[in-house]
Amino acid sequence: MTDVVREARPAQAATRWWRDAVIYQVYVRSFADGNGDGVGDLLGVRSRLGYLAELGVDAVWLTPFYTSPMADFGYDVADYRDVDPIFGTLDDARALIEDAHRHGLKVITDVVPNHTSDRHAWFTAAVAAGPGSPERERYIFRPGRGAGGELPPNDWESVFGGPAWTRLPDGEWYLHLFAPEQPDLNWENPEVHAEFEAILRFWLDLGVDGFRIDVAHGMVKAPGLPDIGVAGQVEMLGTAVLPYFDQDGVHEIHRAWRRVLDAYDGERIGVAEAWAPSQERLAKYVRPDELHQAFNFHFLKTPWDAAMLRGVIDESLATVAPVGAPPTWVLSNHDVKRHVTRYGDGEPGLRRARAAALMMLALPGSTYIYQGEELGLPEVLDLPEEVCQDPQRLRNPEDGRDGCRVPIPWAHSEPPFGFSPPGIEDTWLPVPATWGPLSVEAQLGDPGSTLSLYRAALRLRREHPALGDGVITWHDSPEGTLVFDRGEGFVCTVNASGEPVELPRPGRLLVASAPVGEGPGVVRLAPDSAAWWTREDA
């Protein structure tokens, strides 16, 4: 594998790079193990930057690598200004950012502002200081209900299951919308605002190009912390959640953070992980004075169905248009089952996943790729019970996220397939013994592999002037198919049906997820496939 140092997209302006960037999500624990302890780390990520540059992405988003007891694998932060020894050192982080920039890659890091770890210095001080202390004002402490305060302050539930409150020995309860080891911060306290603006500046000064904001919809709580009852639950973009999220007050926080980002050169960006009850509410997070992007979970959750896909694409485009923000597109991430499996698993799931990738990469706006999707990795559904560690499994074993976090296979050898240095066999999650043919090494030598498809599509996306930011025009096509162009020179065809489909020949074939048949003036699309065409030489 060559060590590629690549210039930025030729047609890309020095600013507003984020409007059509392809951003690659690295789940650090599972990407590459540089020090031989079976856990991915920053040294491992540095060693694979050439692979990412050669793949053709524009930026890398790193999941949390901060000091943490790992109750939720880094999303319980004990020190926001340092690196956990599992992942390396602060010098490793600095070197990674510098190396990424030399490879032409932007770096986006996670920030977790809704809650800290219960080992954070602020929370340990709050527990020690006792009720009524200034230290407790940084978090959300309340007396309990009932004659002796033995009942939680309200009926809120944790996202991970059970009450969202834990009682301390002194009788007070603290709020945690996630695990008990993740106490929620009190964003009505000015100290919290000042601390997080300082955290952002710390990492911006080190050179990061932006932040993915965890639970961007959650920091501000419903006034008075009222009971909600079962009837208070709502559907947020297809997912049942509780309405203490998405309070209007979060937008003032994001406006303040935008001012911090805008004070730095190079268009540093904020990306919202936000669940909202509607696309219209979601669009508020990307108004011109707030964040730059918000994840499009609605698109991610859409089944492999042509009519439904067109509907959610149109809705997504219409929603962000009034605020001038680019849409974002994502098929998988570290919190959901991999889309190969969601689309049917096995050969049908892979066929649809390859087609979905081409469709997604042809859409206007910015795209996110979750590590390993370029290899066509499926969800690992048969992990031994004793290795599963995700706290979300406490709510429902089917909700466990371990299966999408299995380490990446790099070499076509023996498990763990080059994830760790030679001689290391035990990794934090086991790599399936059948994954050798899915490894980077095996697929690099196969022009028909999923990795080769992604590399070709990302190269074309970078080179073709019609792709990236812009508009989309739909064309009439048979049921179960989608045909759209991105200007006069580019056409994408998608056959989401289970049968071959014949279409008028759109032009010269650029790339396809499956073999395309051609006859006089027509093309035959394989079932569950997609293809890109140029009208040149049509």
pLDDT digits (tens, 9 = 90+) for 69-101: 999 999 999 999 999 999 999 999 999 999 999
Residue 94 burial (CB count, 10 A): 14
Residue 479 bears catalytic tag: no
| CB-based contacts of 244, cutoff 8 Å, min separation 6 | 156, 177, 218, 221, 222, 225, 228
pLDDT at 386: 82
pLDDT at 500 over 90: yes
Instruction: Assign 1 a pLDDT band (cuts: 50, 70, 90).
Output: very low
pLDDT at 8 over 70: no
Alpha helices in 272-305 (DSSP H): 279-283, 297-300
- What are 373-392's pLDDT values in tens digits? 999 999 999 888 888 877 77
Report residue 292: phi and psi, to 5°: -85, -35
pLDDT: is 108 or 159 the higher one? 108
- Percent of the chain residues topping a pLDDT of 90: 84
pLDDT at 57: 98
- What are 23-70's pLDDT values in tens digits? 999 999 999 999 999 999 999 999 999 999 999 999 999 999 999 999
- What are 279-306's pLDDT values in tens digits? 888 999 999 999 999 998 889 999 999 9
- What are 477-490's pLDDT values in tens digits? 999 999 999 988 99
Instruction: Assign 14 a pLDDT band (cuts: 50, 70, 90).
Output: very low
pLDDT at 255: 98
CA distances from 506 to 190, 458, 488, 538 (A): 59, 21, 11, 7
Evaluated on CA atoms 191, 197, 201, 204, the torsion sign reads positive
pLDDT at 7: 42
- Percent of the chain residues topping a pLDDT of 70: 93
Query: Which of these is catalytic: 41, 273, 374, 379?
Result: 273
Residue 267 bears catalytic tag: no
- What are 446-464's pLDDT values in tens digits? 999 999 999 999 999 999 9
Mean pLDDT of the chain: 92
Query: Which of these is catalytic: 58, 92, 214, 402?
Result: 214
The Cα–Cα gap between 104 and 102 comes to 5
pLDDT: is 269 or 7 the higher one? 269
